[in-house]
Amino acid sequence: MLNSDWRPTASRQAIIARADLQHQIRAFFRERQVLEVETPVLCRAGVTDVHLVNAVTRLQGQGLAKKTNYYFQTSPEYPMKRLLAAGVGDCFQLCKVVRDEELSARHNFEFTMLEWYRLGFDDQQLMTELEELMIELLGTSAANRLSYQQAFLSALNIDPLVATAAEVANAIRAKGIDCEVVADDLDGLLNLAMSLIVEPQLDPNIPTFVYHFPASQAVLARTNEQDDRVAHRFELFYQGLELANGFWELADAFEQRQRFERDNRQRAELGLPQIDIDERLLSALESGFPDCAGVAVGVDRLLMIKLGMKHIDEVLTFPSLRA
């Protein structure tokens, strides 16, 4: 019998809509004189973040003395920061990234990311520009903004900046959710509560920025000057989807190395593989990194919202199970 899984899962209408969306994105940044750049999808270093799973390949072509691990990039952040340190200036990128995580209605191993950096911006200014992009692409209303602390107080009546792991676990269990897998991990519990309890209580019809995440959840962001429990990290939610993750970027190479090393210690405790630290990134920071803010946006999810689709496969030509 003829196998039909060679066919794309996206309709021709969705394929055309993707092309139009990417054209709009490029026009948005061209108008603002933000340069489009391109960086490698394979690099010698991955990300140490315990909540991200690197996909790895081993290469031994001419020029390599032995088989060498190369990491598929989970985001173009590290090489783009090297460009920033080299003086490229405001820049953006539309690219494929890979994460060896789940396959679901909103996740695919390989997906399209929009990432950009603005010199002289802080996280609040970058939120404003992302809000302008959302209005341009999706015709949304102005966005709401609330702190991570406010979001948890509203949804769970607990303060995530002072609560213990036991208190957060009890609040989650009170909602009928099993949390035993992460019961001793405060950040794991907070992440679980965020995705299953806090996010669903945000108004799906209004873009909402949640900012000032706990510093322990923002390894690449500056710590807040007034409250060192939180960092200059934000996320954007709309129509039940997390769309963006942004930072006022950490520029201190020594502090960044310490955070990467802390991640790898936590990986060891959890039985996860150690990840090679990106020494080229750290050297770039040491050379003099500009004051800037950056954000990554899921393009496939933007397209899902634009077309009213409920499954990511509907906007991908060949999702991972058909690739």
Region 94-108 average pLDDT: 95
Query: Which pLDDT score is estimated for 57?
Result: 95
Q: Please give the backbone phi and psi of residue 296, each rounded to the nearest 5 degrees, phi first.
A: -115, 135
pLDDT tens string 49-81? 998 999 999 998 888 889 999 999 999 999 999
Range of the domain at 17: 12-137+254-322
Count of helices and strands (H, E) across the chain: 9, 11
CB 119 within 8 A of CB 290: yes
Residue 197 lies in a domain: no
Dihedral of the alpha carbons of 83, 215, 211, 235, in degrees to the nearest 10: 60
Residue 186 lies in a domain: no
Query: Which pLDDT score is estimated for 270?
Result: 87
Using DSSP bridges, classify how beta strands 208-211 and 144-147 pair: parallel, antiparallel or unpaired: parallel
Does 101 have pLDDT greater than 80? yes
Query: Which pLDDT score is estimated for 285?
Result: 97
CB 293 within 8 A of CB 123: yes
Whole-structure pTM value:
0.95
Query: Which pLDDT score is estimated for 51?
Result: 87
Query: Which pLDDT score is estimated for 1?
Result: 57
Region 2-29 average pLDDT: 95
Helix 253-270 to helix 279-288 angle, to the nearest 10 degrees? Answer: 160
Query: Which pLDDT score is estimated for 53?
Result: 93
Region 21-33 average pLDDT: 98
Does 295 have pLDDT greater than 80? yes
Query: Which pLDDT score is estimated for 64?
Result: 86
Residue whose C-alpha is closest to residue 274's, from 41, 56, 75: 56
pLDDT tens string 271-291? 999 998 999 999 999 999 999
pLDDT tens string 143-166? 999 999 999 999 999 999 999 999
Residue 188 lies in a domain: no
What domain count does the chain have? 1
Apex CA 203: angle with CA 174 and CA 154, to 5°? 40
Q: How confident is the model at residue 260 (pLDDT cuts 50, 70, 90)?
A: very high
Residue 233 lies in a domain: no
Average pLDDT, the chain: 95
Spatial neighbors of 15 by CB under 8 A, at least 6 apart, are: 8, 317
Residue 19 lies in a domain: yes
Query: Which pLDDT score is estimated for 180?
Result: 87
Residue 157 lies in a domain: no
CATH number at residue 131: 3.30.930.10
Helix 12-31 to helix 299-307 angle, to the nearest 10 degrees? Answer: 120
pLDDT tens string 185-203? 899 999 999 999 999 999 9
Which tokens in the block code for residue 68? 């060498």
Does 167 have pLDDT greater than 60? yes
DSSP per residue, 82-116: HHHHTT--SEEEEEEEE--S--SSS--SEEEEEEE
Residue 185 lies in a domain: no
Region 190-218 average pLDDT: 96
